[in-house]
Amino acid sequence: MIIVTSNKGKYAEYREIMEREGISLELVLMSYPEEQLDTVEEVARRSAEFLRNVVGGDFFIDDSGLFIESLKGFPGVYSSYVNRTLGNEGILKLLDGKIDRGAEFRTCIAYYDGAVNIFVGKTRGVISTEIRGRNGFGYDPIFIPEGEGRTYAEMSTEEKDLLSHRSKAASAFINFLKKKKI
Ligand code: ITT
């Protein structure tokens, strides 16, 4: 199975989840233009439609975003740009003094196999008040999933996989692949 991404952290997580299910993963390391649409589903679908003429054969991509409630869903579909510009420090500054720190991480997988198939995973949580942990990537050091006291970055990859937005989307995707084989 081919994954197209510029993000090696994502690839590492998928490799762990999918190889456990006996699916070997090949990385096509490249970035592609992401249209600024309203939802991760629309962004993922449009990106897959663009990439089908670039990548030969079946592949999937992952479009993810962090939606912070008191910021009306920001950074959401702008998560990549905001991570590169404001970074985690910038997000914490935006939330300075805010009592409501609720947030949701969303992943949308778009799998192209002649048609685009969409799988979504969501995990609710809160934004921490400080940067914590060294594992993972991106917003991991500031996102505490529901029912946990630790940020994603304070967990091992296996622990993050047990509750992450990405692993939920990946489970739905893997179920689809299994059914397709039957
Ligand atoms: P692609 O090439 O796959 O698009 P990207 O890093 O641009 O890689 P996204 O647009 O999906 O990916 O991600 C938006 C931002 O959210 C980006 O800065 C990621 O680092 C971050 N992100 C995505 N998944 C994450 C996760 O599980 N934990 C922390 N940050 C994450």
140 Cβ closer than 6 Å to some ligand 1 atom? yes
Residue 182 — pLDDT band, cuts 50, 70, 90? low
Residue 33 — pLDDT band, cuts 50, 70, 90? confident
Tell whether the model's pLDDT for residue 98 goes beyond 80.
Answer: yes
Rounded distance from Cα 7 to ligand 1 centre (Å): 7
How confident is the model over 125-151, as a mean pLDDT?
97
Asked whether 145 and 155 are in contact (CB, 8 A), the reply is no
In this structure, CATH architecture of domain 2-180: Alpha-Beta Complex (3.90)
The reply to whether 100 belongs to the active site is no
How confident is the model over 107-134, as a mean pLDDT?
98
Which of 31, 16, 171, 158 has its CA nearest to residue 109? Answer: 171
Atom 15 in ligand 1: residue holding the nearest Cα = 80
Residue with tokens 């679908």: 45
How confident is the model over 1-23, as a mean pLDDT?
96
64 Cβ closer than 6 Å to some ligand 1 atom? yes
User: 38, 58, 62, 63: which is the annotated catalytic residue?
Assistant: 63
Angle, nearest 10°, between helix axes 8-20 and 165-181?
50
Position 57 scores a pLDDT of 92
Map out the domains of the chain as residue ranges: 2-180
